[in-house]
């Protein structure tokens, strides 16, 4: 018995000592793996990053930057990228911001947010901001995606918000993007469409506002039993409120009356107030939220009960000027303001004795009563001065343009025609028009067919040979900066030019800013494109001066941003009808 006990003790000691040895061996292996991971050369990291491929177009979930496999175990640092477009579509890549400092990126966007960008500027900005990529140096993924979402919401780009939600499954503040989409449709009075957007709400989104809207949508679609189940769950989680319970119980038919107090805490609460309170009446003020203004406007709930309430009218005018209220509403109110016959007859003199809103209303009514086109345009221009005087031009600009088009420029007295023509806002600001080729001017010649119409390269080279022969032969021809922008592009795209065309000498008189050239040296593709958006700004490329067109084109050529370059060229160079 003693021997057996002794053997058991010896056996236990052997097992115990082996387990210690095994434990120490495991610790050593983990330590070795950790060293391999942390001492991986930067060049190897870069090679692995360069092999990353976007598949398929416009869809990326997440990409692994580093992956090390050892002893059947995998360690990976996973960095996600967020966007809508494939960067290769714009001659960019996933590392397009990697050489740019976060503070430079933030500062540039801050400046752009203060500018009303042209359509071309906006398109270029959207291409670089919403192409899939890693964030700039010193910026987290969360901050980067938040900047993108905030920009979309600020600019009300609901179409791109939807695309972003479709292409990016999970990201920080996803609920904020969905809520904006929902609120946009509530404010537009399109509840059905708003309810369709709740498909973006998944189990991972914990947002009481969206859950409340989802419950309302079930009631809206006559699925009250499902709504009741979700409502009970919301109450259990203590995510409901006394106001919401009251409104939903009324809509479910559980209660036969509801509180008549209007709740302005958020748009959903305000909307529920408006559909449950009998004879709903609400007077907005300058403190009313923009989305509530928009809903009131779309639901036709804005009324000025007392036309003599000048302070309220001023609030409405300011709201219309700030795009919160439909501008047509202001002119409807102007028609309601009463004036005696003598005041109307002598409107041209009597308006000066009235307060500002009444003066505008009087001249507007006088315009409506005018019988001749000459009198109409006279009062329309006078009314423009009165709006400008109080910095309310935004209310009037489109109204004036539409009225001039109704009358017709040719029907106006000649003294007014030129001034009236300048006031017309047309789609020409957006749509450039058909190209008219002019072979007497290099940058307007048929050479452009290669860029405008996608002409065969061999045929384009023949046009180049023919046009340049004419240009060089004409000793009086002046080579402009726009000509050089085209020449620079032709060289970049591999076309051959006549040897006696002195391009290198001609470009000496044009300087490209050194700070922008440095971005090329530093391989800051996306940031260079962002700076070009700043340069173009409020203008379309065809509105830029020739020297700016040249150096913008030159920079884009140097950085191989061909897609963006072609957009600039097609706006800036051709003669259009």
SS3 73: strand
- Interatomic CA distance for residues 23 and 139, integer angstroms: 41
> In terms of DSSP bridges, do strands 63-70 and 73-79 run parallel, antiparallel, or are they unpaired?
antiparallel
Determine the length of the chain.
577
pLDDT at 287: 86
With a CB cutoff of 8 Å and minimum separation 6, the contacts of 303 are none
- Interatomic CA distance for residues 462 and 2, integer angstroms: 109
- Interatomic CA distance for residues 92 and 98, integer angstroms: 12
Region of 494 (left: φ > 0; alpha: ψ -120 to 50; beta: rest) is: left
CA of 45: how far to CAs of 67, 101, 445, 517, in Å? 9, 20, 49, 28
User: 493 φ, ψ to 5°?
Assistant: -85, 10
pLDDT at 89: 95
SS3 514: helix
- 149-166 b/e with 16+ CB inside 10 Å = b? bbbbbeeebbebbbbbbe
- Interatomic CA distance for residues 402 and 396, integer angstroms: 10
Pick from 418, 421, 466: nearest CA to 446? 466
Task: Identify whether the C-beta of residue 93 lies closer than 8 Å to the C-beta of residue 83.
Answer: no
With a CB cutoff of 8 Å and minimum separation 6, the contacts of 478 are none
pLDDT in tens, the chain (577 residues): 444 444 444 454 444 444 444 333 332 322 333 333 333 334 334 433 433 333 333 333 333 333 333 333 333 356 789 999 999 999 999 999 999 999 999 999 999 999 899 999 999 999 999 999 999 999 999 999 999 999 999 998 999 999 999 999 888 888 899 999 999 999 988 898 888 887 777 666 678 899 999 999 999 999 999 999 999 999 999 999 999 999 999 999 999 999 999 999 999 999 999 999 998 999 888 889 989 999 998 888 888 777 778 888 998 999 999 888 889 999 999 998 999 888 998 998 889 999 999 999 999 999 999 989 999 999 999 999 999 999 999 999 999 999 999 999 999 998 888 888 888 875 444 456 688 999 999 999 999 999 998 989 999 999 999 999 999 889 899 999 999 999 999 999 999 999 999 899 999 888 888 999 999 999 999 999 999 999 999 999 999 999 999 999 999 999 999 999 999 999 999 988 7
Task: Identify whether the C-beta of residue 76 lies closer than 8 Å to the C-beta of residue 547.
Answer: no
- Interatomic CA distance for residues 253 and 249, integer angstroms: 6
pLDDT at 538: 93
Beta bridge partners of 77: 66
Question: Which DSSP category does 85 fall into?
Answer: B
DSSP symbols for 438-470: -TTSGGGSGGGHHHHT---HHHHHHHHHHHHHH
- Interatomic CA distance for residues 360 and 351, integer angstroms: 8
- Interatomic CA distance for residues 60 and 79, integer angstroms: 12
Q: For 221-299, where are the alpha helices, taking DSSP H only?
A: 224-236, 242-252, 267-276, 290-298
Instruction: Locate 275 and state its tokens.
Output: 């559909």
Task: Identify whether the C-beta of residue 554 lies closer than 8 Å to the C-beta of residue 516.
Answer: no
DSSP symbols for 185-224: HHHTT-HHHHHHGGGG--TT---HHHHHHHHHHHHHTT-H
- Interatomic CA distance for residues 566 and 572, integer angstroms: 10
With a CB cutoff of 8 Å and minimum separation 6, the contacts of 544 are 535, 536, 552, 572
Helix axes 414-423, 393-407, angle to 10 degrees: 130
- Interatomic CA distance for residues 223 and 240, integer angstroms: 19
- Interatomic CA distance for residues 47 and 385, integer angstroms: 64
Question: Which DSSP category does 225 fall into?
Answer: H
Pick from 108, 50, 94, 140: nearest CA to 519? 108
Helix (H) or strand (E) holding 119: helix 119-129
pTM above 0.85, yes or no: no
Which residue in this structure is represented by tokens 């090390």? Answer: 68
Region of 53 (left: φ > 0; alpha: ψ -120 to 50; beta: rest) is: beta
């Amino acid at each position: 018995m003693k021997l057996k006990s002794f053997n058991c003790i010896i056996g236990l000691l052997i097992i115990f000592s082996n387990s210690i040895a095994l434990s120490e061996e495991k610790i050593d292996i983990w330590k070795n793996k950790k060293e391999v991971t942390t001492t991986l050369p930067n060049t190897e990291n870069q090679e692995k990053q360069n092999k990353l491929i976007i598949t398929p177009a416009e869809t990326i979930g997440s990409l692994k930057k580093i992956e090390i496999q050892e002893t059947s175990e995998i360690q990976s640092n996973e960095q996600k990228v967020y966007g809508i477009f494939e960067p290769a579509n714009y001659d960019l890549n996933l590392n397009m911001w990697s050489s740019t400092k976060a503070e430079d990126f933030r500062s540039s966007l801050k400046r752009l947010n203060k500018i009303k960008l042209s359509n071309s500027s906006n398109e270029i900005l959207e291409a670089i901001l919403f192409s899939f990529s890693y964030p700039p140096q010193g910026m987290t993924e969360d901050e980067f995606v938040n900047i993108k979402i905030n920009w979309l919401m600020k600019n009300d780009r609901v179409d791109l918000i939807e695309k972003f939600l479709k292409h990016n499954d999970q990201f920080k503040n996803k609920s904020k993007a969905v809520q904006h989409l929902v609120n946009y449709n509530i404010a537009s009075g399109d509840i059905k469409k708003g309810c369709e957007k709740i498909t973006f709400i998944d189990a991972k989104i914990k947002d009481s506002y969206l859950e409340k809207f989802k419950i309302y949508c079930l009631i809206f679609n006559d699925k009250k039993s499902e709504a009741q189940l979700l409502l009970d769950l919301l109450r259990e989680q203590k995510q409901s409120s006394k106001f919401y319970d009251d409104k939903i119980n009324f809509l479910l038919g559980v209660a036969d009356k509801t509180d008549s107090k209007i709740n302005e805490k958020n748009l959903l609460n305000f909307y529920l107030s408006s559909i449950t309170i009998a004879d709903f009446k609400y007077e907005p003020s300058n403190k009313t939220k923009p989305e509530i203004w928009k809903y009131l406007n779309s639901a036709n709930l804005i009324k000025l009960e007392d036309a003599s309430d000048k302070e309220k009218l001023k609030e409405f005018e300011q709201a219309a000027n700030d795009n919160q209220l439909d501008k047509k509403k202001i002119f409807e109110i102007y028609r309601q303001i009463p004036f005696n016959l003598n005041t109307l007859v002598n409107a041209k003199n009597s308006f000066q004795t009235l307060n500002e809103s009444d003066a505008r209303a009087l001249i507007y009514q006088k315009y409506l009563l005018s019988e001749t086109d000459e009198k109409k345009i006279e009062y329309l221009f006078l009314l423009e001065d009165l709006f400008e005087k109080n910095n309310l031009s935004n209310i009037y600009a489109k109204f004036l343009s539409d009225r001039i088009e109704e009358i017709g420029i040719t029907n106006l007295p000649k003294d007014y025609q030129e001034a009236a023509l300048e006031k017309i806002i047309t789609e020409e600001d957006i749509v450039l028009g058909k190209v008219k080729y002019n072979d007497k001017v290099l940058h307007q010649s048929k050479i452009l067919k290669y860029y405008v119409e996608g002409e065969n390269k061999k045929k384009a080279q023949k046009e180049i040979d023919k046009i340049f022969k004419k240009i060089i032969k004409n000793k009086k021809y002046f080579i402009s900066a726009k000509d050089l922008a085209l020449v620079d592009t032709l060289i970049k795209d591999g076309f051959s030019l006549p040897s006696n065309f002195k391009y290198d000498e001609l470009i000496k008189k044009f300087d490209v800013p050194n700070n922008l050239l440095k971005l090329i040296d530093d391989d800051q593709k996306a940031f260079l494109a962002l700076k070009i958006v700043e340069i173009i700004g409020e203008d379309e490329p065809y509105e830029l001066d020739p020297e700016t067109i040249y150096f913008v084109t030159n920079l884009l050529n140097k950085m191989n941003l061909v897609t963006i370059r072609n957009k600039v060229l097609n706006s800036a160079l051709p003669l259009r009808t």
